[in-house]
């Protein structure tokens, strides 16, 4: 799992571990956050300690882990739950058990973890994990919905799969990498849900134009920037659709996934979803040309042409711009070498976009395949903001801040 924090950004994360077998996966969350530069503190409930030990997490976080024994420690000058509650910039509870969920729903506090939550005001991320029957109980679902009605709580969907009880069903805890990404989003936004009620449509990855079933014209895009945009938009409250070319990553729970291969399939999917979308970001690296003919059978080497006749593919972004309604905001990407701003400005104007991301692809630690990126945002009012190298998730948040008007642009689309 690759992740980094912007050294200037907030990074004090408190993890609360509940009693469930998924507790062992939270060790990876603690370790990844620490390696990414966060200060991590961990509270284990009594039942969590049946699954993992305080020593495990204190070793990973390089700080003593807290348990209820510390809560009742008479030598402290200030109550521990107050100190921890004030210290945390984000609190994440994983796995969230039915028991802790019920207590939080009713504002009950009978241990260090629940007292700390009540004594804090920061965003709280919840990653439930339990057996399918338990998760689907009406009482549990009612508590879950009721708790999420409180805007400080951010819920992660449970996954579907083989559970430790040998059941295949809902109730799996979100993957550690997803939990880390969501925590990073909350650190950036402080829990702000400024895309709530918006539909965000994003394209990602490099399309493939096949000559036959095994050979294609493609490009090095891995779709990581589009994925980060989808995660950031979802964490800010949007309903997100991700139209993506073949990728090595999984689409996060909660994002509607439309897998495609060719530019033509991407065009079709984007056109279908476009009318419902409020904010559209074309982050995909779309082919400009395709082989003029396609063979459904694999061509033997001896039959391969030595010259490949090509034909153009439609410019999806330009087509979307022609259909765009005043309430919609359409953003393109310009992956460039050398001078990135001049060609990006031309694309912004020619394609009649609201904004464009000028993205260097000839610099280290930026562009295709990298976990990090660097860019200049330009909007159609002449605002330009240069974003220094940062993770693709941070870049995605900076872009949403830009279109919402908080870093330079007027944000008139909403």
Residue number with CB closer to ligand CTP (187 or 313): 313
Residue number with CB closer to ligand CTP (313 or 396): 313
Judged by CB under 6 A, the chain residues 370 through 389 that form the site for ligand CTP are: none
Instruction: Number of residues interacting with ligand CTP: please give it, by CB under 6 A.
Output: 14
Residue number with CB closer to ligand CTP (196 or 323): 323
- Does 239 bind ligand CTP (CB under 6 A)? Our answer is no
Listed ranges 125-133, 183-191, 220-228, 330-338: which one lies at the site for ligand CTP (CB under 6 A): 330-338
Active-site annotation holds for 390? no
Residue 172 class from Cβ within 10 Å (0-12 exposed, 13-18 middle, 19+ buried)?
buried
Judged by CB under 6 A, the chain residues 249 through 278 that form the site for ligand CTP are: 263
* Beta-strand relationship, 289-291 and 329-336: unpaired
Residue number with CB closer to ligand CTP (22 or 340): 340
The 10 Å Cβ neighbour count of residue 115 is 21
Residue number with CB closer to ligand CTP (119 or 318): 318
- Does 205 bind ligand CTP (CB under 6 A)? Our answer is no
In angstroms, the CA 203 to CA 286 distance is 9
- Computed over its alpha carbons, how large is the radius of gyration of the chain? 24
Q: Which residues contact 409 (CB under 8 A, 6 or more apart)?
A: 355, 377, 379, 381, 383, 385, 402, 403
- Does 332 bind ligand CTP (CB under 6 A)? Our answer is yes
* Beta carbons of 401 and 385 less than 8 angstroms apart: no
Residue number with CB closer to ligand CTP (212 or 264): 264
In the complex, least distance from residue 180 CB atom to ligand CTP, rounded to whole angstroms = 28
> Which residue has 């000559």 as its token pair?
211
**Which of 277, 208, 215, 297 lies closest to 245, judged by CA?**
208
Judged by CB under 6 A, the residue of 177, 253, 315, 389 near ligand CTP is 315
Listed ranges 18-26, 79-87, 130-138, 309-317: which one lies at the site for ligand CTP (CB under 6 A): 309-317
In the complex, least distance from residue 410 CB atom to ligand CTP, rounded to whole angstroms = 21
| The CA-based dihedral angle spanning residues 129, 178, 62, 25, taken in that order and rounded to the nearest 10 degrees | 40
CA separation, residue 152 to residues 118, 149, 351 (Å): 11, 9, 40
Q: Which candidate in 122, 165, 329, 390 is catalytic?
A: 165
CA end-to-end distance (rounded Å), the chain: 35
Per-residue mark of binding to ligand CTP, 45-84 (x: CB under 6 A) = ----------------------------------------
* Beta carbons of 171 and 140 less than 8 angstroms apart: no
Binding footprint of ligand CTP on the chain (CB under 6 A): 263, 282, 284, 286, 288, 313, 315-317, 332-335, 347
Catalytic annotation, residues? 165
């Amino acid at each position: 799992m690759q992740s980094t924090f912007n050294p200037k950004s907030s990074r004090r994360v408190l993890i609360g571990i509940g009693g469930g077998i998924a507790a062992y996966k939270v060790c990876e969350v603690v370790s990844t956050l620490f390696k990414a530069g966060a200060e991590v503190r961990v509270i284990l409930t009594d039942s969590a300690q049946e699954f993992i030990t305080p020593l495990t997490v204190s070793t990973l976080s390089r700080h003593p882990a807290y348990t209820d024994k510390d809560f009742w420690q008479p030598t402290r000058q200030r109550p521990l739950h107050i100190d921890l509650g004030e210290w945390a910039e984000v609190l994440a509870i994983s796995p969230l058990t039915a028991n802790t969920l019920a207590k939080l729903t009713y504002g009950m506090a009978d241990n260090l973890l629940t007292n700390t939550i009540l004594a804090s005001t920061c965003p709280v991320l919840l990653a439930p994990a339990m057996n399918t029957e338990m998760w689907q109980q009406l009482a549990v679902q009612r508590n879950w919905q009721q708790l999420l009605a409180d805007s400080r709580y951010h819920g992660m969907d449970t996954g579907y799969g083989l559970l430790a009880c040998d059941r295949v069903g809902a109730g799996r805890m979100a993957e550690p990498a997803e939990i880390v990404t969501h925590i990073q989003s909350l650190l950036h936004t402080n829990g702000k849900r400024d895309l709530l009620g918006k539909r965000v449509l994003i394209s990602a990855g490099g399309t493939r134009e096949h000559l036959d079933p095994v050979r294609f014209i493609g490009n090095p895009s891995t779709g990581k920037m589009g994925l980060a945009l989808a995660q950031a938009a979802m964490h800010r409250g949007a309903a997100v659709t991700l139209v993506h070319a073949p990728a090595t990553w999984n689409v996060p729970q909660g994002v509607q996934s439309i897998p495609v291969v060719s530019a033509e399939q991407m065009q079709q999917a984007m056109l279908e979803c476009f009318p419902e979308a409020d904010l559209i970001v074309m982050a995909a690296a779309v082919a400009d040309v395709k082989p003029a003919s396609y063979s459904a059978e694999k061509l033997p080497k001896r039959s391969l042409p030595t010259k490949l006749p090509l034909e153009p593919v439609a410019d999806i972004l330009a087509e979307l711009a022609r259909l765009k309604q005043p309430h919609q905001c359409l953003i393109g990407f310009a992956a460039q070498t050398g001078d990135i701003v001049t060609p990006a400005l031309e694309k912004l104007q020619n394609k009649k976009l609201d904004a464009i991301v000028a993205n260097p692809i000839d610099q280290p630690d930026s562009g295709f395949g990298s976990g990090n990126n660097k860019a200049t945002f330009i909007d159609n009012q002449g605002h330009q903001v240069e974003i220094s190298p940062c993770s693709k998730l941070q870049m995605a948040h900076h872009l949403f801040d830009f279109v919402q008007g908080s870093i330079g642009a007027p944000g008139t689309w909403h």
